[in-house]
Amino acid sequence: MSDPQLVPARETRVEIRVVNSRFITTAGPAFTVDEAKAFIARIKAEFRDATHNVPLFIIGHGTRQIAHCSDDGEPSGTAGRPALAVLQGSGLGDVAAVVTRYFGGTKLGTGGLVRAYSEAVRAVLRELPLAEKRPTHTVMIAVPYALFERVRQMIAAHRGVLEDQSFAGDVTLTARFPVDEFEGFQSALRELSAGQCEALIVETNPATLVPVDRLSGMV
């Protein structure tokens, strides 16, 4: 299986205080440069009275990435680049963020700014819910009532998501599986039903967002 392509599951905002300055980091999913620019423009408009709104984004994963950052008026190299370095170190892709600063009257110095913007991004990453971008199959399965509960358990065991169920002569289930888990489920289903049941693929999505547990040590 290839390395997971982790992305934010939804938009998240975290605020920290450094000396007297407020640093508010908003991060969320963005799958194109245009989406990232729209996200940044929206956050800047929301905090138009802030001292600085430092933007950053990473579109794509691995060697196929587009990354961008700006200091937005902070001294060169003290805001955008350290914030982006933390974001890149997280392993996330398809992510946009804005670190909003309200100056509190006390200058932090060059090193203090680097530390503050870095910590502001780490803070939001600690709270950001994650999803994995993976190819999936959506399938339909007709099973007899006697096997219904066992099949439900098997779907979960193979990282499937049960999306629908209807009850008639048999139980018809609609489920979504990561592509690399599907064959294992299909084999287990055939074995359980003595070859009488088989999952039918009705749709394949090359980039489904599948929620994942927090990864320890991500930031």
CATH 3.30.70.240 domain span(s) along the chain: 133-211
Cα separation, 182 vs 201, whole angstroms: 10
| Side chain identity, residue 175 | A
- The C-alpha atoms of residue 37 and residue 176 are separated, in whole angstroms, by 32
Q: What CA–CA distance (Å, rounded) separates 134 from 55? A: 27
- Give me the CATH code for the 6-128 domain, please: 3.30.230.30
Taking phi over 0 as left and psi of -120 to 50 as alpha, with beta for the rest, 159 belongs to left
Strand 130-143 to 171-178 pairing: antiparallel
For CATH 3.30.230.30, list the domain ranges present in the chain.
Answer: 6-128
CB-CB neighbours of 83 under 10 Å:
29
CATH topology of domain 133-211: Alpha-Beta Plaits (3.30.70)
Confidence band (pLDDT; 50, 70, 90) for 167?
very high
Residue 103: its H or E element: none
**Separation CA 168–CA 83 (nearest Å):** 55
CA distances (Å), origin 182, targets 149, 160, 198: 19, 8, 11
Percentage above 70 pLDDT, the chain: 95
- Judge contact between 139 and 179, C-beta under 8 A: no
Cα–Cα distance list, 3 to 62, 133, 160, 163 (Å) = 9, 10, 19, 26
| Model pLDDT, residue 210 | 76
Distance CA(104)–CA(89), nearest Å, equals: 29
- pLDDT of 3: 64
Take residue 144 and report the two structure tokens written for it. 């007899």
pLDDT tens sequence across 104-134: 999 999 999 999 999 999 999 999 999 988 8
The pLDDT tens digits of the residues spanning 54-97 come to 999 999 988 889 999 999 999 999 999 999 999 999 999 999 99
| Percent of all residues in the chain with a pLDDT value above 90, rounded to a whole number | 85
pTM equals 0.75
Report whether 202 contacts 138 (CB < 8 A): yes
The residues, ordered by sequence, that sit 6+ positions from 131 with a Cβ below 8 Å of its Cβ are 6, 7, 8, 9, 29, 209, 210, 211, 212
- The Cα–Cα gap between 59 and 35 comes to 10
Using CA atoms, how far apart are residues 58 and 55, in angstroms rounded to an integer?
11
Q: Are 72 and 80 in contact (CB under 8 A)?
A: yes
Lookup result for tokens 């170190």 = 89
